[in-house]
Amino acid sequence: MSQSTLTIKDLHVAIDGKEILKGVNLEIKGGEFHAIMGPNGTGKSTLSSAIMGHPKYEVTQGTITLDGEDVLEMEVDERARAGLFLAMQYPSEITGVTNAEFLRSAVNARREEGDEISLMKFIRQMDGNMDLLEMDQDMAQRYLNEGFSGGEKKRNEILQLMTIEPKIAILDEIDSGLDIDALKVVSKGINKMRGEDFGCLMITHYQRLLNYITPDHVHVMMQGKIVKSGGAELAERLEAEGYDWIKQELGIEDETVQ
Amino acid sequence: MTETKWSVDESLIRDFSTANNEPEWLLNVRLDAFKKAEDLPLPKPDKTKIDKWNFTEFGAHNVQSAPFNALSALPEAAQAVIGEENDTQNVYVQRNNTPSILKLSDELKEAGVIFTDFATAAKEHSDLFQKYFMQQVVKADEHKLTALHAALVNGGIFLYVPKNVEIKEPVQAVFIHDDAQAALFNHVIVAAEANSSVTYVENYISTVKTEQGVANIVTEVIAGDNAQISYGAVDTLTENVTTYVNRRGITAPNARIEWSLGIMNDGNTVSENVTNLIGDGSYADTKMVVVGRGKQSMNFTTKVVHFGKHTEGYILKHGVMKDEAKSIFNGIGKIEHGASKSNAEQESRVLMLSEKARGDANPILLIDEDDVTAGHAASVGRVDPLQLYYLMSRGISQQEAERLVIHGFLAPVVNKLPIENVKKQLTGVIERKVRQ
Ligand SMILES: Nc1ncnc2c1ncn2[C@@H]1O[C@H](COP(=O)(O)OP(=O)(O)OP(=O)(O)O)[C@@H](O)[C@H]1O
Ligand SMILES: [Mg+2]
């Protein structure tokens, strides 16, 4: 495998006719860890949903490409098989479908018919990942996310990440709702993915995630745009001082999407 | 019945009866029912108009099919439900209208169990059979379709379990439809005497397509004192067969009837499933799963009527409608005056997968007694697009995502089915029906 590049240019996105993203530019390469921070309601989840192809979000302008391929032309499942992954802020619950059954379908979706992963091999791999994430073995046989606590859902998203091994992953508030031990465990899982073949975009409100997973680039989002970018030190300053200084610097009064 | 070209007449019925050496009482039942059929109205399943449905036009009343000479000669779909041949198996295979294979273990024969095809039962167990055939459970003159059934019955089986006999292994009947001309008027009687128990599983398998066909199926289940009957059915009849299927049971005191029904026909279907809880302390449980696809229309009435005191009735039905399929789920819990301390519970859920699919659930409780408990839950909804999005965001195709959601929706019923064989079969049948 080789290094992948996700390129977002001048992205405008609307939902129910209301424009939320107003020209986002961003490039994520294999090997890089990016963080996006920003106050509530500024368009962070909208960006991640638009990349993955959420049915409610309409791209009105701009492009998204993965290694030169037009992502916007692809269906959601094609985007995933092309190498994109989104750990969702609010994962769906699906009754009657066990976690293991779901994970195995996801793995097999990437393999040819007739070349499905053997049950033994799959279980070994899943058990290994669940151990690393300190998940109870019975979570494999429970229905997908049904009745999972907030923290369990987040771990389960990372279990999927580790199983699927995408080229570029977007993690939308993977740290929210996690206790301190769980945050360490989840970070361990994400760090295990590190490598030239894996690029990552983390959306977070807190520096504490970034203490465990050091980002190469930090971006700040306001009013549906990336208004400032820097290195890991930018996140530390935001943690210490909040967003006011940026707003002042840029002359922004209301940071939310208008 | 007003169509002049209709090929069925009294002489056809007489000839058929003679050819099968039927006792006179049966011929009389047929002729009487045939006369009544003319004037009797069609049944009126709630919210489905069936007066334009074809219940009378079919290729032939009686087709002769070469019998299969061994289980291994059966079509694959039939072999899959029966499993490997062995000595303790109790299996009946009917090919269209022709009894084809019958296996009953020596042990059960010695215990006095009767398991035989319709014609043989009428001939060789005439008195016993007459006691049950459309006498106590389903009556010929209820409506046009029961009358036509009585007049034209041309297959089915009789299973009789004597007092105190407990049958461990399921008894199976497989009805194979592989002649486009065939019409299926099958009658099934399962009678279990006091303190006996039995599990019976039947399959309808079409391996042929037809221009127009008819299945008119009546089952009568009679559970004696403290008897236990577990009745499973997986119906997979083909597209242009119009099915009327009536599966009904009655209970003596402390008897139990459990129904596990998978109705997966591809054609228009009216299904009635009724349990009359006559005896005190008796119990009925119906679990049903349904998948509709194409343009088919289906109506399911599931009803438990409480006559005895301390009776319990449970209904749990889940259905998935794809494409332009339509279905009505009527659930009726009826507690008669005097049936004190009874409990009637029901739950119906319908999931629609497409814009054009239609589903409707009507839970009805009719209660004529104060000292009872009852409850119902019903829901009809479309598949959540966010669930599909979530699954697809992991690389799973839309079709596979829908398959997972459908399985998931039906799983709470399938997983609770008391008959292992039916559970296993349904998983496969649902798979096939969903995939195409
Ligand atoms: N269905 C919708 N209809 C109208 N507005 C919407 C809809 N969905 C999202 N929005 C709006 O879009 C804006 C951006 O939302 P988004 O979820 O992207 O914010 P966010 O930056 O992820 O916030 P948070 O930090 O709270 O998760 C918000 O003002 C939100 O109310
Ligand atoms: Mg968000």
A250 interfacial to chain B (CB closer than 8 Å): no
Nearest CA to ligand 1 atom 8: A15
Span from the CA of A221 to the centroid of ligand 2 (angstroms): 11
Q: Which protein residues touch ligand 1 with a CB less than 6 Å away?
A: A 15-16, 18, 20, 38, 40-46, 256-257
Q: What is the pLDDT of residues A25-66, one digit of tens each?
A: 999 999 999 999 999 999 999 999 999 999 999 999 999 999
pLDDT confidence of residue B2? 44
* DSSP run (H or E) holding A106: helix A99-108
Tokens read off for B242: 């119009």
**Where are chain A's structural domains?**
5-89+167-250
pTM across the whole model: 0.88
Tokens read off for B414: 């399938």
Q: What domain range includes position B167?
A: 10-383
Span from the CA of A48 to the centroid of ligand 2 (angstroms): 9
Residues near B306 by beta carbon (within 8 Å), at least 6 away in sequence:
B277, B313, B333, B334, B335, B336, B339, B342, B344, B372
Residue B210, in any domain of the structure:
yes
Judged by CB atoms closer than 8 Å, whether chains meet at A143 and B407 is answered as: no
**Residue A117: phi, psi to the nearest 5?**
-65, 140
Instruction: Give DSSP secondary structure letters for B78-99.
Output: HHHHH-S--TT--EEEEETTEE
Q: Which of A26, A45, A37, A16 is nearest to A222 (CA)?
A: A37
Spacing of C-alpha B48 from chain mean position: 19
What whole-number distance in Å separates Cα of residue B188 and Cα of residue B156? 5
What whole-number distance in Å separates Cα of residue B242 and Cα of residue B53? 7
Residue B209, in any domain of the structure:
yes
Nearest CA to ligand 1 atom 28: A41
Task: Name every chain B residue with its beta carbon within 8 A of the beta carbon of A80.
Answer: 392-396
* DSSP run (H or E) holding A182: helix A180-193
Judged by CB atoms closer than 8 Å, whether chains meet at B407 and A97 is answered as: yes
Nearest CA to ligand 1 atom 7: A15
Query: How are strands ordered across the β-sheet holding B213-223?
Result: B114-117, B155-161, B186-192, B213-223, B241-251, B269-277, B297-306, B326-335, B358-367
Task: Name every chain B residue with its beta carbon within 8 A of the beta carbon of A94.
Answer: 387, 390-391, 404-405, 408
pLDDT by position in tens, chain B (length 436): 444 457 799 999 999 999 999 999 999 999 999 999 999 999 999 999 999 999 999 999 999 999 998 999 999 999 989 988 888 899 999 999 999 999 999 999 999 999 999 999 999 999 999 999 999 999 999 999 999 999 999 999 999 999 999 999 999 999 999 999 999 999 999 999 999 999 999 999 999 999 999 999 999 999 999 999 999 999 999 999 999 999 999 999 999 999 999 999 999 999 999 999 999 999 999 999 999 999 999 999 999 999 999 999 999 999 999 999 999 999 999 999 999 999 999 999 999 999 999 999 999 999 999 999 999 999 999 999 999 999 999 999 999 999 999 999 999 999 999 998 899 899 889 988 887 6
Nearest CA to ligand 1 atom 31: A41
| Chain B nearest C-alpha distance from A252 (Å) | 34
Tokens read off for B11: 């002489």
Residues near A73 by beta carbon (within 8 Å), at least 6 away in sequence:
none
Which atom, in ligand 1's list, is nearest to the CA of A173? 27
Residue B3, in any domain of the structure:
no
**If DSSP codes are grouped into helix, strand and coil, which group holds residue A220?**
strand
Q: Give chain B's domain count.
A: 1
Residue B399, in any domain of the structure:
no
Residue B58, in any domain of the structure:
yes
Mean pLDDT of A95-108: 96
Judged by CB atoms closer than 8 Å, whether chains meet at B412 and A102 is answered as: no
Chain B interface disruption, residue of A15, A94, A95, A101, most B CBs within 10 A: A94
The superfamily CATH assigns to domain A5-89+167-250 is P-loop containing nucleotide triphosphate hydrolases (3.40.50.300)
State the complex-level ipTM: 0.97
